[in-house]
């Protein structure tokens, strides 16, 4: 075999191996990418998809105030769906739902989404949250929709700190017995006895023109 032919065969072999290696890496990366799931609670049923579900408790672990459920709900369908309830499974706790504006049900528009939790968003409040959930748990929560029905997933239970600070309960209990803002200590009642009033002269002092006033030189 001539030298030039050998070089051609070697170049073709290297090119073939390079293509095969790249193809294998591409398939492996694609396969791994498809298996990677976000580090948060997410699920979908029918046209409804729920992401970033969590239960956010009071920032103080000893506080007994309410907790909130947070999530982003997507509706990929062609008609609106109403979120009828959110329940914490294993307890008798059901969240009190409210839309972002006004009153009425929380509606997930067709082809749109609704954010639950945080300022100017819809809300889902659990009264006495400390009795229902425990920080660090993955609590089973069920969302019930008008058309999709019940959608359950495990939501992480976290305190309203760090990233979740702005998504926590708006009602945070204050320490008992703390002074009210704007309050001032009570002033002592009355004034010290025997103190002179402004403008008065001490008792027994001579008044101008009185008997105790020194005489003028003409009167001497």
pLDDT digits (tens, 9 = 90+) for 127-151: 875 666 888 888 899 999 999 999 9
Spell 164-191 as b/e; 16+ CB within 10 A means b: beebbbeeeeeeeeeeeeeeeeeeeeee
> Would you state the pLDDT for residue 73?
97
Domain residue limits at 106:
41-165
Cα dist from 110 to 74, 75, 130, whole Å: 9, 6, 35
C-alpha to C-alpha distance for 67 and 78, rounded to whole angstroms: 33
Whole-prediction pTM value?
0.60
> Would you state the pLDDT for residue 56?
92
More confident residue, 68 or 201: 68
> Would you state the pLDDT for residue 91?
81
> Would you state the pLDDT for residue 164?
86
Whether 47 has a pLDDT exceeding 50, the answer reads yes
Q: How many domains are contained in the chain? A: 1
Please name the residues in contact with 152: beta carbons below 8 A apart, sequence gap of 6 or more: 43, 89, 140, 141, 142, 143
Is 83 among the domain residues?
Answer: yes
What is the domain-level CATH number for residue 90?
A: 2.60.40.1890
pLDDT tens per residue, range 73-117? 999 999 999 999 999 898 878 999 999 999 999 999 999 999 999
Is 199 among the domain residues?
Answer: no
């Amino acid at each position: 075999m001539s030298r030039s032919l050998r070089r051609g065969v070697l170049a073709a072999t290297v090119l073939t191996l390079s293509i095969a290696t790249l193809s294998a890496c591409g398939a492996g990366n694609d396969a791994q990418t498809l298996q990677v799931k976000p580090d948060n609670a997410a699920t979908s049923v029918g046209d409804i998809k729920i992401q970033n579900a969590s239960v956010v408790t009071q920032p103080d672990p000893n506080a007994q105030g309410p907790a909130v459920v947070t999530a982003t709900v997507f509706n990929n369908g062609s008609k609106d769906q109403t979120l009828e309830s959110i329940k914490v499974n294993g307890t008798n706790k059901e969240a009190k739902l409210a839309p972002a504006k006004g009153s009425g049900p929380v509606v997930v528009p067709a082809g749109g989404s609704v954010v639950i939790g945080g300022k100017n968003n819809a809300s889902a409040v659990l009264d006495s949250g400390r009795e229902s959930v425990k920080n660090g748990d993955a609590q089973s929560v069920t969302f019930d929709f008008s058309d999709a029905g019940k959608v359950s997933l495990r939501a992480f239970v976290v305190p309203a700190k760090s990233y979740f600070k702005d998504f926590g309960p708006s009602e945070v209990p204050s320490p008992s017995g703390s002074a009210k803002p704007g309050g001032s200590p009570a002033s002592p009642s009355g004034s010290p006895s025997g103190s002179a009033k402004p403008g008065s002269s001490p008792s027994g002092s001579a008044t101008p023109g009185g008997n105790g006033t020194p005489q003028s030189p003409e009167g001497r």
